[in-house]
Structure 1
Amino acid sequence: MTLLLGATGAGKTLLLKRLEIAPHISKNGTDLHFEEMPPTIPTVGTNLVTVSVGRRQEITVREVGGCMGPIWKNYLKDAHNLLYVIDVADRLQVAASCVQLLSVLAAESLPLIPVLIVFNKIDMPDRMSPSEIESLFRLKDIAHCCGRKFDTVEVSSCSGKGLGEIISWMDKNTIGK
C-alpha cells in the first residue's frame, strides 16, 4: 500500500482522484492533461483508491487527512512507500508542512521505504520557485539527518503536469508488490 500524507489543503484528494483515472488517459508516463476539475472536500479520515501502474500492476493508495497529522504514525507501519504532498503556493503552510515532514521521516514506526516528496500546485502564480523550495526545505540536510534517501517531483494535480512521473515512481518503488 502507498501512503499519501500532507497538510490540509495541500491537494492530496485531487491528486488521488487524478492518479486513479490517469492510467485510463495515458499509458506512456508523460504529462497528463485534464479538462475538468472534479469537486473535492477535505478528507476527514482516510480514502482508499486503487491506482493502475505499469503492466497489470495495481497499487492501493491510502490518503490520510491532513487534520489527522497527530496520528499519521499509526498508518506508517503498513506502507510500502510514501507520497508526501506539499502545497508550494501556500507560503504560510510550507513551514508547517516541513515540520510535519520531518516528524514523519523521523518516526520510529516508519519502515525503511521509498519516499516521494510531491511539490504540488506549481501552476499557481504565487508558487515558490525551485530555489526557494531548496533553500527553505534544505532537502540534502533532511536526507542526511534522517538517514534516508527520498525523491522529489513538482506537479500540478489540477493540470496533470508531473503525474506521469508519480505513477512511474510508484511502479518502480513499491516494496512488496
Structure 2
Amino acid sequence: MACICVGPKGSGKTHLLSALKNESTIDITTHSVSTVGTNIFKIAIPNYLISGLNQSNKKEKYSTILEIGGCMAPLWRKYFNNVNKIIYVVDTSNLCQISCAGVLLYSIMADPRLQKTKFLLVLTKMDLAYRQMRNEALLMLQMAKLKKQLKQNLVIVEASPITRDGFEDIYKWLDTVRRKAIEGYKERKSEEDSKSKTSESNVKGPLHQGSGPTIDSSISDLEKLCQEREKQDGCNRVRIR
C-alpha cells in the first residue's frame, strides 16, 4: 500500500478519512468506533485542485489510503514496506495523549525504510480545541527538535471533519505526492531504458556503430595484399631465370 494513515487510538482517523471520502456522511451527530484492524479508503481528489488537469479531461484521480488502528501500534512496522506517504493524525483536543503521539511519530520517522517517505501531520478536531491548543500541541510534539534531527519532508495541516477546515490542503498534498511519484517513476524508467540501449550498443561493437573497418573493407585490403605478393613472387622468378 503506497499510503497509510496512522495515529494514536481515538485520534479521529476514521472520522477524517470518511469525511474526505464523502463529506455528507460526517456531521456533528456522527460517532465512530475505534478501528480494530485496518480500513481501506478510496478518496477522490476534486478536479479543481488537480494540477495540470486539462478541462477536457474529467477523469477523477483517486488516492487509496490504508487506515491502521491505533491499538495496532506495535504492528505498524509490518506495513512500512513500499510506503511513500504517511498521514499521521493527532487529536489536538486531547492534550493528555499528545506526548504519546509525539513518541510514536518519532519512532515511525526514525525507521530506515521511511527515510524518503512524505509525511502529513494532521492536527484534527480543531473544532473542539481553542486556538492556543495548536501551539501547545506542536510544543508537546517537539516539532522543532524533530525537524532538526530527521530529514523527511513533514507538512502540518489543521483539520476538522465537522467544519471541513483543512480539507483542501489535504487534497492538494495527496495530489502533489501522487504527481511526484508518477514523475519519479517516469524518470527511473527513462534512465533504465537509456542504460539498456547503451549496454546493447556496447555489445554490438564498432561494426554496428559505423566506426572502424567493416568486413567489406577488410576483404578488399586482403585481396590487394595478395595481388602485391603475387607480383613480387613473379619478379623474383624472372630474376632467378
TM-score calculated relative to the size of structure 1: 0.85
Q: CA deviation at 1:38?
A: 3.5
Q: CA deviation at 1:36?
A: 5.5
Q: What SS is found at the alignment partner of 2:137?
A: helix
Equivalent residue letter for 1:58:
Y
Q: How does 1:30-69 map to 2 (within 5 A)?
A: 35=27, 37-55=29-47, 56-69=60-73
User: Residue 13 of structure 1 contacts residue 43 of structure 1 at CA under 8 Å; is this kept in 2?
Assistant: yes
**Cα 1:57/1:70, change in 2 over 3 Å:** same
Query: Does the alignment pair 1:84 with 2:85?
Result: no
Partner of 1:30: none
TM-score calculated relative to the size of structure 2: 0.64
Deviates more, 1:78-87 or 1:53-62: 53-62
Q: CA deviation at 1:147?
A: 1.9
Cα separation, 1, equivalents of 2:155 and 2:174: 11
User: Residue 101 of structure 2 contacts residue 141 of structure 2 at CA under 8 Å; is this kept in 1?
Assistant: no
Cα separation, 2, equivalents of 1:83 and 1:17: 14
Partner of 2:52: none
Q: CA deviation at 1:16?
A: 1.0
User: Any runs of at least 4 consecutive aligned residues in structure 1 with deviations exceeding 6 A, and if so which?
Assistant: none
User: Residue 89 of structure 2 contacts residue 124 of structure 2 at CA under 8 Å; is this kept in 1?
Assistant: yes
**Cα 1:125/1:146, change in 2 over 3 Å:** closer
Cα separation, 2, equivalents of 1:36 and 1:9: 16
Partner of 2:181: 176
User: Residue 2 of structure 1 contacts residue 61 of structure 1 at CA under 8 Å; is this kept in 2?
Assistant: yes
Q: Share of identical aligned residues, percent?
A: 26
Q: What SS is found at the alignment partner of 1:132?
A: helix
Q: CA deviation at 1:146?
A: 1.7
**Cα 1:36/1:69, change in 2 over 3 Å:** same
More helix by percentage: 2
Which runs of 5 or more residues in structure 2 are unaligned? 48-59, 183-241
Deviates more, 1:132-141 or 1:113-122: 132-141
**Cα 1:68/1:35, change in 2 over 3 Å:** closer
Q: CA deviation at 1:129?
A: 2.2
More strand by percentage: 1
**Cα 1:69/1:35, change in 2 over 3 Å:** closer
Q: CA deviation at 1:54?
A: 4.8
Q: CA deviation at 1:109?
A: 2.7
Partner of 1:28: none
Question: Considering only aligned residues, what root-mean-square deviation do their CA atoms show, in Å?
Answer: 2.0
Deviates more, 1:90-99 or 1:154-163: 154-163
1:119-146 Cα deviation digits (max 9, x unpaired): 0111114675232123222313202212
Partner of 1:135: 139
Q: What SS is found at the alignment partner of 2:127?
A: coil
Query: Does the alignment pair 1:110 with 2:102?
Result: no
Corresponding residue to 2:99 among 83, 95, 105? 95
Q: CA deviation at 1:176?
A: 3.4
User: Residue 84 of structure 2 contacts residue 116 of structure 2 at CA under 8 Å; is this kept in 1?
Assistant: no
**Which has the higher relative contact order, 1 or 2, with Cα contacts under 8 A spaced 6 or more apart?**
1
Cα separation, 2, equivalents of 1:151 and 1:102: 15
